[in-house]
């Protein structure tokens, strides 16, 4: 897909910023209006889905998986921008092919990106038993990353000041709804042999160990040398300079990276630079309530 500057310039961004509930989950208005085609999407048995709550490491996991599919061939991975190599299922903005349209025209085996909570997944993924890699990231770093993302993506609602955004985020009043429900929903489904549940913090801590999990899940074998190569090229510092992975190919009118880059910090624990003591206490208390009864455990630093 080619995001043409001229087309994007004429878009009414404020009209796109509205959130509309789909089965109770707030979603961008365009996604909501195109929902039927997402619901009816025809998955294939050899699709590999990368599912995440926004800002949890989607692009990172996507680049890794595309490199695995390409057996570590860098040139192959530079064939196109990440949003074309791994189309975004529910993506929709006016005048552009939707994610569904893009995927319908993609030959198998397809890589598919989604941020959908499990209850909104199209049935065909379960019917076809497609494989899913779910990446979860701790709620606090996601909050910070999502806040900055709202500032740079023109089609997203204005986040307002940090405190306002944090309240909205804690209440699930942001695109894709509650982080808590999202990570718990996918966690409950993880026992099937077609779901691999990974953590961003584990990937940061030991990328080789996590990459091996991915390979095993994908029934792939790889030399240690290729594995090391993939780890290097998908490290934050290298991906940040790779225009096929850092979203710099998108027009400024859609994603303005002049103040904050998409590849912002790429660490675990940046929330400490943004949460006040009071915000942190309030967040923890709310978190405890919402995550009660789950064995799901996150690390907020490594």
Comparing C-alpha atoms, which of 246, 257, 267, 260 is closest to residue 162? Answer: 260
Closest CA to 179 of 296, 33, 86: 296
In whole angstroms, how close is the CB of 157 to ligand PPS at the nearest point? 15
Closest distance of CB 231 from ligand PPS, Å: 10
Least distance CB 42 / ligand PPS (angstroms): 23
> Nearest CA to 115 among 139, 140, 134, 92?
134
CB of 69 or CB of 83, closer to ligand PPS: 83
| DSSP structure string for 217-234 | HTT----HHHHHHHHHHT
Query: Is 10 or 238 the residue whose CB approaches ligand PPS more closely?
Result: 238
Beta bridge partners of 197: 134
Answer whether 122's CB lies under 8 Å from 39's CB: yes
Q: How far is the CB of 194 from ligand PPS (least distance, A)?
A: 21
Closer Cβ to ligand PPS, 235 or 241, answer by number: 235
Q: What is the DSSP string of 61-96?
A: HHHHHHHHHTTT-HHHHTTS-HHHHS-BTT---TTS
Distance CA 220, CA 225 (A): 15
Kind of pairing between the strands at 131-136 and 195-199: parallel
Nearer to ligand PPS by Cβ, of 128 and 269: the residue is: 269
Residues that bind ligand PPS (CB under 6 A): 52, 54-60, 141, 145, 148-149, 234-236, 239, 263-266, 270
- Rounded to whole angstroms, the Cα distance separating 101 from 38 reads 10
Please, which residue, 57 or 87, has the CB nearer to ligand PPS? 57
Residue number, 55 or 110, with CB nearest to ligand PPS: 55
Helix (H) / strand (E) element for 141: namely helix 139-152
Minimal distance in Å, beta carbon 293 to ligand PPS?
27
Beta strands at 25-28 and 19-22: parallel, antiparallel or unpaired: antiparallel
Partners of residue 153 on adjacent β-strands:
255
Verify whether residue 115 is a known catalytic residue: yes
Q: In whole angstroms, how close is the CB of 130 to ligand PPS at the nearest point?
A: 19
Catalytic entry in 23, 115, 180, 274: 115
Please list the active-site residues. Answer: 115
């Amino acid at each position: 897909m080619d995001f043409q500057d001229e087309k994007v310039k004429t878009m009414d961004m404020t009209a796109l910023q509205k959130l509309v509930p789909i089965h109770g989950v707030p979603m961008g208005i365009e996604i909501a209006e195109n929902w039927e085609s997402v619901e009816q999407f025809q998955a294939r048995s050899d699709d590999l889905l990368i599912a995440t709550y926004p800002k949890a490491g989607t692009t990172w996991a996507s680049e890794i998986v595309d490199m695995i599919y390409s057996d570590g061939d860098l040139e192959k991975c530079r064939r196109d921008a990440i949003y074309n190599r791994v189309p975004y299922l529910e993506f929709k903005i006016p005048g552009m092919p939707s994610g569904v349209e893009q995927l319908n025209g993609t030959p198998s085996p397809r890589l598919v990106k989604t941020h959908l909570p499990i209850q909104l997944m199209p049935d065909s993924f379960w019917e076809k038993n497609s494989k899913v890699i779910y990446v979860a990231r701790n709620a606090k770093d996601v909050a910070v990353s999502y806040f900055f993302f709202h500032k740079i993506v023109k089609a997203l609602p204005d986040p307002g000041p940090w405190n306002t955004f944090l309240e909205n985020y804690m209440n699930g009043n942001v695109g894709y709804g509650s982080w808590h429900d999202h990570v718990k929903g996918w966690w409950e489904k993880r026992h099937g042999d077609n779901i691999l549940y990974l953590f961003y913090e584990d990937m940061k801590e030991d990328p080789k160990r996590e990459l091996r999990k991915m390979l095993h899940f994908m029934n792939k074998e790889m030399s240690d040398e290729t594995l090391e190569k993939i780890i290097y090229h998908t490290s934050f510092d290298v991906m940040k300079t790779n225009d096929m992975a850092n979203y710099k190919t998108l027009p400024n009118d859609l994603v303005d990276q002049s103040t904050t880059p998409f590849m912002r910090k790429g660490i675990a624990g940046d929330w400490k630079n943004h949460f006040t003591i009071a915000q942190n206490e309030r967040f923890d208390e709310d978190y405890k309530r919402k995550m009660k009864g789950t064995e799901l455990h996150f690390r907020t630093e490594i």
